[in-house]
Structure 1
Amino acid sequence: MNKFILIIALLTSLSSFSQDIFGKWKTIDDETGEAKSIVEIYKKNDYVFGKVVEILNKDKRDAICDTCEGDEKGQPILGLEIIKNMEKSGQYYKEGTIFDPTKGKKYTCRLGLTDNKDVLQVRGYIAFLYSTQYWERVK
């Protein structure tokens, strides 16, 4: 009986580990419903970041970030780190930012898996107003 409980506990913990936000996600435009890019979410120095690793519209693959500021201004959107400094807080990742290179706006961000572990809820905030997108896991 003890072995059975141990096996169940081990499988549950492995299942939880594989259902995290890390990996590649297809971004879906909340206004058009169109897939725009692939963003890879990864851990770096105890924080979570995300960068654009693929642009799905072939006409925009060489796009430059004209709306960026500082060192990122004029840099390619492909490879751009758009999610920065997220920290785990309960079931969500918070306290970081997400940047929309098409609008040139930076938002406070919250990331979390939905009930469907292959769908990531991405919420950007300005004060008490927010916008939500749902990204799909790339397998």
Structure 2
Amino acid sequence: MNKALATLLLAAVAVPAWAQMSPVGLWRSMDDKTGEAKSEIRISEQDGILEGRIEKLLRKDADPAAKCVECKDALKDQPMVGLPIITGAKKAEGKDVWEGGKILDPENGKQYTLRLTPIEGGQKLEVRGSIGPFGRTQTWQRVQ
């Protein structure tokens, strides 16, 4: 096998693996109390900055026309579907961690400092929201 072909094959295998270790993609969030699927969030990247929007509400009793009544400012009374809940996160230098952004909890309207860490080969995402030393971590599932 010539060197160029070997390099091309190696790149073809490495790119999907690297892409999976990124938060970019579609994720399913779970309810902390019941363990049931809550929503699907689409995380995208533009110029190295992540944004995540609610793409679908999954709870059995979810109203597809629900609005963010607890949100503040420009997000107040905006539809839940399409609502930006992740803003401003950037990749940390030399680590598979994205931080420096904010995450919105649409159930209480509060914004938290955000850290995203892909785990298990990028099939799960640890989503940490915190205020100072206090916070909580959820694990989201990648939607294939």
* Alignment partner, residue 79 of structure 1: 82
**Shift of residue 13 of structure 1?**
2.9
* Alignment partner, residue 14 of structure 1: 15
Distance (whole Å) between structure 2 residues aligned to residue 66 and residue 82 of structure 1: 14
**Shift of residue 15 of structure 1?**
3.3
| Alignment map for 1:61-76 (pairs within 5 Å) | 61-76=64-79
| Alignment map for 1:101-112 (pairs within 5 Å) | 101-112=106-117
**Shift of residue 11 of structure 1?**
4.2
Asked if residue 93 in structure 1 is aligned to residue 98 in structure 2, the reply is yes
% same residue: 36
What is the aligned counterpart of 2:122 among 92, 117, 123?
A: 117
Task: Please report the TM-score for the alignment, with normalisation by the length of structure 2.
Answer: 0.86
Letter in 1 for 2:112: Y
Counterpart secondary structure, 2:120:
coil
Query: What is the RMSD computed on CA atoms of the aligned residues?
Result: 1.9
* Alignment partner, residue 58 of structure 2: 56
Distance (whole Å) between structure 2 residues aligned to residue 68 and residue 81 of structure 1: 11
Letter in 2 for 1:118: Q
Letter in 2 for 1:112: T
Counterpart secondary structure, 1:13:
helix
How many pairs were matched up?
A: 139
Distance (whole Å) between structure 1 residues aligned to residue 110 and residue 16 of structure 2: 36
Counterpart secondary structure, 1:59:
coil
Counterpart secondary structure, 2:122:
coil
Distance (whole Å) between structure 2 residues aligned to residue 103 and residue 69 of structure 1: 10
**Shift of residue 111 of structure 1?**
0.4
Moved more, 108-117 or 58-67: 58-67
Q: Output one character per residue of 1:47-66: Cα deviation in whole Å (capped at 9) or x when no partner.
A: 10000000012532221111
Contact 1:87-1:96 at 8 Å conserved across structures: yes
Task: Please report the TM-score for the alignment, with normalisation by the length of structure 1.
Answer: 0.89
Contact 2:36-2:59 at 8 Å conserved across structures: no
